[in-house]
């Protein structure tokens, strides 16, 4: 009672409660239980009635949070050894953040994580993904408290930053991708200036990676993979496109936010709008939607946890639309900024041209990327 009345912190109070005098709780004590029950599975069967439209019904009381990937934790992180919980977090990240930000190719990342392939995956990248995924988990009460040692977000972020200090001078695509995720976590939690500093380091690493090899990213991979050469080349090519455009998009957004000159120019490679899985399945994936028009249903998408039926995945269109928008943002920041990081006025004609380009971009968005079309994460870019 004396401790309670003296206004001590919750961590100090925990010292009195726990027998081991340790205010930082072990992972087993803060790991949430899965919420899926036989009742929720039965309810979901009713929700997913044949012919039901995506927006016809939604109930957050009907939740099935069985992970749709089965991944091992212990090889990649020391924070937890709970494979089911890590699979849950990765599933949350795949369903939401990975599709709207596209910092890494999900197919390549998951495959490399399963196969313990440290060329296309790393402990730094996995911990960064898990720290990001905590923001989307339906199980965690503390989703994004990066200053609370009893939150998983804090612990994954702490391990990721520790690994970042070891790897940030090594030019690897996984390090660049992890750096972008750490920038996002810091910015989303109110540490904008720290996020900007992290981004500066990430861009420098990206430039070193781009400039220090005879071909884009190729020297790092040459002769270091046991799989067939053709498969590795496809992965490398996709990794190049995804990483270059992701750095460019983040650079454009930071430039607009802080009113700085953009650090990264428009890539001269194609948009990473079609994944390897899309290419392989494209011919057999053309189906007919509810309106009767032919659309390419590539991978399907559904909310995770499961509260709605499947719907067409528009990740490819979303990435391309986001990249086109960031090209406009890039050219806008070039107009309003100078080399000495000061602002300059633009003419009425330039403003009108930019406005017309934005209008054309908005009007060109396909069905599914417009506001109120669905509940998928893609509309965030459209907004």
Q: How far is CA 273 from the centre of its chain?
A: 15
Helix axes 83-95, 123-133, angle to 10 degrees: 70
* pLDDT for the residue numbered 52: 45
| H/E element, 300 | strand 300-301
Reply yes or no on whether the pLDDT at 14 is more than 90: no
pLDDT tens digits, one per residue of 80-126: 989 988 998 998 888 888 877 889 988 899 999 999 988 899 999 99
Bridge pairing between strands 286-288 and 300-301: unpaired
291 band by pLDDT with thresholds 50, 70 and 90 = very low
Least confident of 122-126, 140-144, 149-153, 291-295: 291-295
Within a 10 A sphere around the Cβ of 334, how many other Cβ atoms? Answer: 13
Whole-number percent of the chain with pLDDT over 90: 22
CB-based burial label for 212 (10 Å; 0-12, 13-18, 19+) = exposed
Mean pLDDT in the chain? Answer: 74
| C-alpha R_g of the chain | 22
8 band by pLDDT with thresholds 50, 70 and 90 = low
Reply yes or no on whether the pLDDT at 369 is more than 50: yes
pLDDT tens digits, one per residue of 193-211: 888 889 999 999 998 887 7
Reply yes or no on whether the pLDDT at 35 is more than 90: no
* pLDDT for the residue numbered 33: 67
Specify the length of the chain in residues: 383
pLDDT tens digits, one per residue of 234-285: 788 888 888 999 999 999 988 888 888 888 999 887 666 544 343 333 333 3
DSSP string across 151-204: SHHHHHHHHHHHHHHHHTTS--HHHHHHHHHHHHHHHHTT-HHHHHHHHHHHHH
1 band by pLDDT with thresholds 50, 70 and 90 = low
Reply yes or no on whether the pLDDT at 128 is more than 90: yes
22 band by pLDDT with thresholds 50, 70 and 90 = low
* pLDDT for the residue numbered 3: 58
> Which of 9, 29, 8, 31 has the alpha carbon at shortest distance from 20?
29
Give phi and psi for 213, each to the nearest 5.
Answer: -120, 155
Report which of residues 135 and 143 the model is more confident about: 135
Report how far apart, in Å, the C-alpha atoms of 283 and of each of 105, 107, 195, 318 are: 21, 19, 42, 20
Torsion of CA 346, 350, 354, 356, to 10 degrees: 150
Report which of residues 14 and 160 the model is more confident about: 160
Helix axes 229-258, 315-336, angle to 10 degrees: 40
Report how far apart, in Å, the C-alpha atoms of 96 and of each of 42, 379, 380 are: 25, 11, 11
* pLDDT for the residue numbered 373: 59
Reply yes or no on whether the pLDDT at 325 is more than 60: yes
Average pLDDT estimate for 139-167: 84
* pLDDT for the residue numbered 252: 92
Reply yes or no on whether the pLDDT at 47 is more than 50: no
* pLDDT for the residue numbered 178: 95
* pLDDT for the residue numbered 277: 43
Q: Which residue is it, tokens 């749709």? A: 68
Average pLDDT estimate for 301-328: 77
CA-CA distance, 124 to 368, in Å (whole number)? 34
Task: Return all residues near 150 (Cβ < 8 A) that are at least 6 apart.
Answer: 24, 25, 30, 142
């Amino acid at each position: 009672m004396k401790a309670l009345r003296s206004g001590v912190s919750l961590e100090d109070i925990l010292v009195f409660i726990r027998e081991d005098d340790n205010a930082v709780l072990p992972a087993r004590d803060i790991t949430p239980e899965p919420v899926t029950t036989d009742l929720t599975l039965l309810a979901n069967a009713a929700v997913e009635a044949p012919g039901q439209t995506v927006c016809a019904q939604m109930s957050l009381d009907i939740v099935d949070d069985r992970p749709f990937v089965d991944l091992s934790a212990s090889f990649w992180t020391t924070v937890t050894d709970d494979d089911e919980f890590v699979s849950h977090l990765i599933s949350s990240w795949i369903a939401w953040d990975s599709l709207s930000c596209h910092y890494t190719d999900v197919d390549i990342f998951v495959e490399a994580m399963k196969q313990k392939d440290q060329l296309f995956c790393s402990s730094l990248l996995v911990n960064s993904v898990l720290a990001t995924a905590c923001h989307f988990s339906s199980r965690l009460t503390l989703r994004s408290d990066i200053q609370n040692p009893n939150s998983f977000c804090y612990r994954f972020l702490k391990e990721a930053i520790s690994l970042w200090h070891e790897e940030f001078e090594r030019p690897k695509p996984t390090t660049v991708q992890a750096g972008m995720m750490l920038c996002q976590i810091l910015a989303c939690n109110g540490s904008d200036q720290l996020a900007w500093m992290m981004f500066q380091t990430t861009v420098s690493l990206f430039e070193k990676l781009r400039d220090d090899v005879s071909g884009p990213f190729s020297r790092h991979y040459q002769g270091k993979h046991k799989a067939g050469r053709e498969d590795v080349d496809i992965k490398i090519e996709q990794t190049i496109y995804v990483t270059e455009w992701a750095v460019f998009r983040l650079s454009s957004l930071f430039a607009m936010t802080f009113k700085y000159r953009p650090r990264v120019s428009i890539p001269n490679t194609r948009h990473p709008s079609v994944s390897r899985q899309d290419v392989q399945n494209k011919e057999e994936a053309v189906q007919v939607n509810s309106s009767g028009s032919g659309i390419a249903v590539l991978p399907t998408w559904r909310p995770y946890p499961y509260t709605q039926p499947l719907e067409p995945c528009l990740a490819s269109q979303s990435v391309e639309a986001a990249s086109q928008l960031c090209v406009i943002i890039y050219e806008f920041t070039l107009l309003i900024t100078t080399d000495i990081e000061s602002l300059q006025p633009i003419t009425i004609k330039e403003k009108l041209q930019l406005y017309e380009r934005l209008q054309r971009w908005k009007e060109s968005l396909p069905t599914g990327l417009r506001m109120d079309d669905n509940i998928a994460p893609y509309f965030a870019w459209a907004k």
